[in-house]
Amino acid sequence: MPRTVIVGDLHGCAAELEDLLAAVRFETGVDHLVLVGDVVARGPDSHRAVALARRLGAAWIRGNHEQKLIAAHKRGKSLGPDHRKFARELSPEDWKLLESTPLWLDLPEHGLRVVHAGVVPGLAFARTPPDAILRVRTCPKAGHWSRASDGGPLWGSRYTGPPHIIFGHNARPEPQIWPWATGIDTGCVYGGRLTALVIDAGQVMQRGDAARDFLVSVRARRRYYEGGPPVKTVAKR
């Protein structure tokens, strides 16, 4: 039976993606791979991560790091050294792939919407600024949002669906589990873990603590980038 495997922020951690897909026994050509964005930058092998996404036919949601590259490519915006080096090495086919990434993906059979960072509680999704979808972390009050970690309550704590939102961006040592939202960025590039949500065909996402039964993680092989959330020194598969 085909499954949907939704993977948190890669940041070039291609080896960990291979570890995770092996752990869930991913079947190429059968299972459906979804990447929540920030596939590239900061980590060890962005080019290999892009190649894996292409080879596996992944649905790739746009993250803020992809948006940064696209903005530089289209409008000449400046890039830091890490992004600039990667951008210089991208082929025309790579740029086409990056620029085709959507801001969200709806998976109605699972009752899910996949975005990179989140949504704004109290604001209709159709009216949500793209920058919020790419960068929101907190929600100071209904209809308002902040990219800051200390800008108020985490947005997932205030969101009421449907649909259930699967998101990344705001790296944490553990998945964020809210009644209507599940965050799966567990800071692989910072030495944490790479996490996937695995759901069977036709299965509807369970909410709250029941969401934990859908999650599988593998530990990072090492810490690739300084900064980010505190990480556990021992992480179990």
The pTM score is: 0.94
Q: What would the mean pLDDT of 36-64 be, rounded to a whole number? A: 95
Q: In what order do the strands lie in the sheet with 32-35?
A: 59-60, 32-35, 3-7, 193-200, 215-219
Do 40 and 101 touch, CB atoms closer than 8 A?
A: no
Specify the higher pLDDT residue, 73 or 78.
73
The mean pLDDT value of the chain amounts to 93
pLDDT tens-place string over residues 127-178: 999 999 999 999 999 999 999 999 999 999 999 999 999 999 999 999 999 9
Domain boundaries, the chain: 3-219
- Asked whether residue 233 carries a pLDDT value surpassing 90, the answer given is no
pLDDT tens-place string over residues 187-222: 999 999 999 999 999 999 999 899 999 999 999 999
Q: What is the pLDDT of residue 234?
A: 39
CATH of domain 3-219: 3.60.21.10
The SS3 assignment for 43 reads coil
Whose tokens are 């299965």? That residue is 203
Which uninterrupted H or E stretch holds 87? helix 81-88
What residues have CB less than 8 Å from 163, skipping those under 6 apart? Answer: 106, 108, 111, 112, 113
